[in-house]
């Protein structure tokens, strides 16, 4: 039997890149997956369906409560109560690397609104559905940049630190509802956005040099940890962060 057979999952930021990989992987494990994004996720949905999986697309703004409520309503109508939420939507590859004193207040606020407030609002939106079901798994996607204080990216690093903080606080608040909240700290991954952005070339070289596993990290490298956190295998684990970066940071 597949590990996530008939479980209902929402993946935000799922139109492409790592989010699409999460959604496809969850569907391969038997989950019914809602691919939520401001961009059109229909291509990724079509791939899942062609492979025999179950998936629907949903256009959603993770910073808008009405949009998120509509997402949950659509999910429940199509598949049933939400059991798994992957808070993946974030601004990353589109950001220009720059020293913190050149980051405008508007840019700072945008990054924090999407990357930090977005997971907070998504979690609030799915909470009634998970409570109705009597259980839930929330998987927040943070970044290894938080552990090492990556330069030229202060707003992004701070936003992912906020995700770690939310993970720990929400794990405590939601334990009595049988809702477990954990986090992946993701290393620099060869997503479409990173591959197509020359400003990451220098970071790729330094990151590869710091890894004990000497190869590029692919989106598929994150699927095993996602399956673990979404399944019953992690039922006695909450408030934790799993660092997946090929051994670049080993503490």
Q: What is the pTM of this model?
A: 0.94
Confidence at residue 194, expressed as pLDDT on a 0 to 100 scale: 54
Task: Tell me the per-residue pLDDT of 5-21, one tens digit each, with 9 for 90 and over.
Answer: 999 999 999 999 999 99
User: What's the pLDDT band for 102 if we cut at 50, 70, 90?
Assistant: very high
Nearest CA to 78 among 97, 96, 57? 57
State yes or no: pLDDT of 193 exceeds 60: no
Map tokens 């959603």 to a residue.
60
Confidence at residue 187, expressed as pLDDT on a 0 to 100 scale: 78
Give percent above pLDDT 70 in the chain: 90
Active site residue 22: no
User: What's the pLDDT band for 189 if we cut at 50, 70, 90?
Assistant: low
- Phi-psi group of 52: left, alpha or beta (phi > 0 → left; psi -120 to 50 → alpha; rest → beta): left
State yes or no: pLDDT of 247 exceeds 90: no
What is the end-to-end Cα distance of the chain in Å, rounded?
Answer: 35
Map tokens 């939520």 to a residue.
36
Average pLDDT over residues 119-137: 98
Task: Tell me the per-residue pLDDT of 21-59, one tens digit each, with 9 for 90 and over.
Answer: 999 999 999 999 999 999 999 999 999 999 999 999 999
Burial of 144 (0-12, 13-18, 19+ CB in 10 A): buried
Distance in angstroms (rounded) separating the CA atoms of residues 76 and 70: 10
Average pLDDT over residues 180-209: 68
Copy the structure tokens of residue 16.
């492409």
- 223-230 helix and 17-28 helix, angle to the nearest 10 degrees: 60
Confidence at residue 203, expressed as pLDDT on a 0 to 100 scale: 57
Kindly compute the dihedral angle of the four CA atoms of residues 123, 69, 19, 168, in this order, to the nearest 10 degrees: 0
Q: Which residues are registered as beta bridge partners of 35?
A: 11, 57
Q: Which is catalytic among the residues 22, 156, 227, 251?
A: 156
Q: What are phi and psi of 44, to 5 degrees?
A: -65, -40
Give percent above pLDDT 90 in the chain: 80
Rg (CA), the chain: 17
């Amino acid at each position: 039997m597949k590990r996530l057979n008939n479980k209902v999952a929402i993946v935000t930021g799922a139109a492409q890149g790592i989010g699409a990989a999460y959604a496809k992987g969850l569907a391969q494990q038997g989950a019914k997956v809602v691919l939520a994004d401001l961009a059109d996720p229909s291509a990724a949905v079509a791939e899942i369906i062609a492979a025999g999986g179950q998936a629907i697309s949903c256009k959603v703004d993770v910073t808008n409560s009405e949009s998120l409520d509509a997402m949950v309503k659509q999910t429940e109508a199509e598949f049933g109560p939400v059991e798994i939420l992957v808070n993946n939507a974030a601004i990353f590859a589109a950001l220009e690397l720059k020293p913190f004193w050149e980051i405008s207040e508007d840019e700072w606020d945008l990054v924090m609104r999407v990357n930090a407030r977005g997971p907070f609002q998504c979690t609030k939106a799915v909470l009634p559905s998970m409570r109705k079901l009597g259980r839930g798994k929330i998987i927040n996607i943070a970044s290894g940049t938080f552990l090492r204080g990556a330069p030229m990216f202060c707003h992004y690093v701070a936003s992912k630190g906020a995700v770690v903080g939310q993970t720990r606080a929400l794990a405590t608040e939601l334990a009595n509802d049988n809702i477990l909240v954990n986090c992946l700290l993701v290393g620099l991954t060869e997503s479409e956005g990173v591959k197509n952005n020359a400003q990451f070339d220098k970071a790729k070289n330094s990151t590869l040099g710091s890894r004990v596993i000497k190869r590029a990290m692919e989106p598929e490298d994150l699927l095993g940890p996602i399956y673990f956190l979404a399944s019953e295998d992690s039922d006695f684990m909450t408030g934790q962060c799993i660092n997946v970066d090929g051994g670049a940071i080993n503490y």
